[in-house]
Amino acid sequence: MPPDAWISLAVVIAVFPLMAFTRLGPDIVLMGAVIVLLTLGVIEPSQALGGFASTGLFTVAFMYVLVTAIRQTGGIDLIIRYVLGQPRGEGRALMRLLLPVASLSGFLNNTPVVATYIPAVLSWSRRVGVPAHRLLMPLSFASILGGTITLFGTSTNLVVHGLLVDRSPELAMGLFDLAWVGVPVAVIGLAYLILLGPRLLPARRGTAAAFENPREFTIEMEVDPEGPLINRSVEEAGLRHLQELFLVEIERDGNVVSVVGPGERLKGGDRLVFAGTSEGAVELQQVRGLMPSRHGDSSLEKDFKERRLVEAVVSSQCQFVGQRIRDGHFRTLYGAAVLAVCRGGERVAGNLGQVRLQPADVLLLEARPPFIERHRQSRDFLLISQIDGAARPVHEKAWLAWSILAGVVALASLGVMSMMNAAMLGAVMVLLTGCCSIGAAKRGLDTQVLLTIAAAFGLGAALESSGAAAVLAGGALGLAGGNPLLLLIGAYLLVALLTELVTNNAAAVITFPVVMASAESLGVSPMPFVVAVMFAASASFLTPIGYQTNLMVHGPGGYRFGDFLRVGGLLNLIVAAVALTLIPLVWPF
């Protein structure tokens, strides 16, 4: 094996543990790997940058704009309002939830679908009497299953298809070709989630139960109108750096001062709300000029237009992961105050300032109204949802956004134009018609995913041009004994394993040249292997970190790691069995 092949293999092998076990984003790791290969002369600049010219990458980007338009116009909310209803029993509730989600995910990126559904499901679950944890994991899994139905279903499908077309244009697939396998996989998977899934899910407390009583994690005091604190700033009053408590808000004359700054001056009768432990009350009793609140109801239970209570799910990419809330200056950076932290369905007890944040933690925040839009697309949070008096989206243009998406699907499926051209036309239309603003379109682009895809192309090119892919293919053929079916099973299992550890796009793009080289060495059609890569990359049911929607529901549902293994393990086997049975029948070797 030539030196370039050894270098390529070493870099690729190093990439996977870096993505799986460090806080570095997959885009950073993969871009770094491409830079190393480029510096060492393994790949040319044209190969390193080839991913940025990929039709698959641009199709994914244009689809993000279309999805943003549908979300911006309230198109998903409109469907939620009509389909959830008032079912009788858990089974019917699951059907009303999962069937529309799977259908939507066949044409929309499933991350915004799940993000829009989660707040609705949390309130709906209370209304129909079904615990939220019995709905949220099936919600995530249904979105993944729905993504296997069409080429538009996931970014991985589009990217792998783009690689295929660039390599062999005559093998281009139709928009609904995957449905021959995707529909049976989705139907059987949904049946499993509805009939057997609830039996495998143990009882869990979600964030709704953990955050339902504000008096458990807040203390309210009043400023004595005759005391020494009048007209003193929060800093001067000694309320800025308390050991056990944070000053969150001040209720004053029927209004509220949220996310209180150190220079805010106190007035007589101000009602101060502190977040922290009950032991912190001892600190407050020692402050002259403060007295216990005489009001019966909690200030947090009131609705103020200047204040929003939101739940935010911490991303693995959050810069505060591993840091204490107090040390990280959370309030200064985000303009929001942490009221409580929920982990594994339980509120984290103890000194709030000493809590070290972890991925999938759910934070109850008090913030000003602009916080939600400003940080909705932040890499630090997987999900931000308002829990007090959320405004209903305006639906006037929802039909227009859905019509444009339908037109894109029609143009692509009928072969009038390529998928990239159809998606590009649709993106332009939603901007021209006002369904999506340019600012929202920019925020809707998931740059981490796009950079990950582009960089993974460089690694795939290195494996192929250096000869490493051919060597790996030869080894795989030896293990499979030259049997294409065994090779297909091996390729599926490899990609399914990698996608649980790293991003599905990276797993698919890096393994693509290897499976193509294997098919060419055997002298068989590459199509069954390409489709197997698409399905295996989507089969992320085993862990909460394997797929973004799993991590999004992990915190709000109060799940533990073992819950995903218990429910997702059997689902993984079912999907693999159905896919590996049907793929060779639809696309023979």
Residue 311's H or E segment, with its range, is strand 308-314
Side chain identity at residue 93, one-letter code: A
In a domain, 451, yes or no: yes
Both 232 and 332 in one domain: the answer is no
Looking at residue 508, its amino acid is: A
- How far from 414 is each of 372, 407, 419, 426, CA to CA, in Å? 40, 11, 10, 15
Residue 250, beta-bridge partner list: 257, 272
| Residue 556 · residue 119 · CB < 8 Å | no
Range 323-349 average pLDDT: 79
Q: Are residues 370 and 257 in the same domain?
A: no
**Same-domain pairing of 15 and 158:** yes
Give the per-residue pLDDT at 185.
95
Q: Which residue, among 40, 33, 44, 64, has the nearest Cα to 423 in the 3D structure?
A: 64
Statement: residue 391 has pLDDT above 60 = no
End-to-end CA gap in the chain: 29
Q: Provide the percentage of residues in the chain whose pLDDT is more than 70.
A: 92
Write down which residue in 351, 386, 421 finishes a domain.
386
Tell me, yes or no, whether 248 and 152 share the same domain.
no
CB atoms within 10 A of CB 424: 19
Exposure class string for 445-457: b at 16+ Cβ within 10 A, else e? bbebbbbbbbbbb
What DSSP line would sit under 332-374, residue for residue? HHHSEEEEEEEETTEEPPS-GGGPBP-TT-EEEEEE-THHHHH
Same domain, 279 and 320: no
Q: Model confidence over 74-104: pLDDT tens digits?
A: 887 777 777 887 788 888 889 989 999 999 8
What kind and span of H or E run contains 312? strand 308-314
* Bridge partners (DSSP) listed for residue 362: 313, 342
Q: Would you state the pLDDT for residue 243?
A: 72
170 vs 162: CA distance, rounded Å: 12
The type of residue at 9 is L
Specify the DSSP class assigned to residue 391.
P
Contact of 189 with 538, CB cutoff 8 Å: no
Answer whether residue 392 shows pLDDT above 70: no
The reply to whether 35 and 112 lie within a common domain is yes
**pLDDT over threshold 80, residue 24:** no
What integer is the mean pLDDT of 232-237?
83
Residue 467 lies inside a defined structural domain of this protein: yes
Residue among 226, 224, 215, 316 at smallest CA distance from 274: 215
- Tell me whether residue 392 is in a domain: no
Radius of gyration of the chain (CA): 26
3-state secondary structure 253-322: CCEEEECCCCCCECCCCCEEEEEECHHHHHHHHCCCCEEECCCCCCHHHCCCCCCEEEEEEECCCCCCCC
Side by side, which strands form the sheet with 290-292?
255-258, 245-252, 271-276, 218-223, 290-292
* Contacts for 236 with CB less than 8 Å, ≥ 6 apart: none
d(C-alpha 118, C-alpha 111), whole Å = 11
- Same domain for 9 and 148? yes
- Lowest mean pLDDT: which of 95-99, 326-330, 567-571? 326-330
Q: How many domains in the chain?
A: 3
Per-residue model confidence (pLDDT) at position 149:
92
The predicted-structure confidence for 156-175, as pLDDT tens digits, reads as follows: 888 888 888 888 888 888 88
Whether residue 312 sits in one domain with residue 294: no
Candidates 105, 24, 30; CA nearest to 549 is: 105
Residue in this structure with the two tokens 């369904």, named with its chain if needed: 435
- Looking at residue 52, its pLDDT comes to 84
**Last residue of one domain, picked from the residues 269, 301, 333:** 301
Same domain (yes/no): 318, 294? no
Q: Last residue of some domain: 284, 301, 318? A: 301
Q: Which residues contact 128 (CB under 8 A, 6 or more apart)?
A: 86, 87, 93
pLDDT of residue 377: 67
pLDDT, position 17: 81
Give, in order, the Cα–Cα distances in Å from 588 to each of 168, 200, 467, 524: 17, 36, 27, 9
Distance CA(133)–CA(556), nearest Å, equals: 8
- Of 221 and 280, which is predicted with more confidence? 221
Residue-wise pLDDT tens digits, 106-134: 888 888 888 888 878 887 887 788 888 88
User: What average pLDDT does this structure show over 277-297?
Assistant: 73
Asked whether residue 377 is domain-assigned, the answer is yes
pLDDT tens by residue, 343-378: 877 778 777 777 888 888 888 888 887 777 777 767
Question: Is the predicted pLDDT of residue 305 greater than 80, yes or no?
Answer: no
Residue span of the structural domain in which 244 resides: 212-301
Q: Is residue 43 located within the same domain as residue 132?
A: yes
Residue 264 sits in a domain whose CATH number is 3.30.70.1450
Question: Do 572 and 463 share a structural domain?
Answer: yes
Considering the domain boundaries, does residue 519 fall inside one?
A: yes
Predicted pLDDT of residue 394: 55
CA distances from 483 to 387, 478, 495, 526 (A): 56, 9, 19, 14
pLDDT bin (cut points 50, 70, 90) of residue 210 is low
Query: So what's the pLDDT on residue 209?
Result: 67
User: Using 50, 70 and 90 to split pLDDT, how confident is the model at 191?
Assistant: very high
Mean pLDDT over each residue of the chain, to the nearest integer: 82
**Tokens 């009053």 sit at which residue?**
237
Residue 394 lies in a domain: no
Same domain, 160 and 285: no
| Tokens at 524, concatenated | 């068989």
Give, to the nearest 10 degrees, the angle between helix 561-586 and helix 527-538.
160
- 474-524: per-residue pLDDT in tens? 777 677 777 888 889 988 988 888 888 777 888 888 888 888 888 888 888
Ramachandran area for residue 238 (φ above 0: left; ψ -120 to 50: alpha; else beta): left
Task: Give the dihedral sign, CA 260/266/271/273.
Answer: positive
Q: Is residue 345 part of a domain?
A: yes
3-state secondary structure at position 389: coil
399 domain-assigned: no
pLDDT at 582: 95
pTM: 0.80
- Band of pLDDT at residue 341, cut at 50, 70 and 90: confident
Can you read off the two tokens belonging to residue 107?
A: 């044409």
User: Which pLDDT belongs to residue 585?
Assistant: 92
Which residues have a Cβ under 8 Å from the Cβ of 432 and sit 6 or more positions away? none
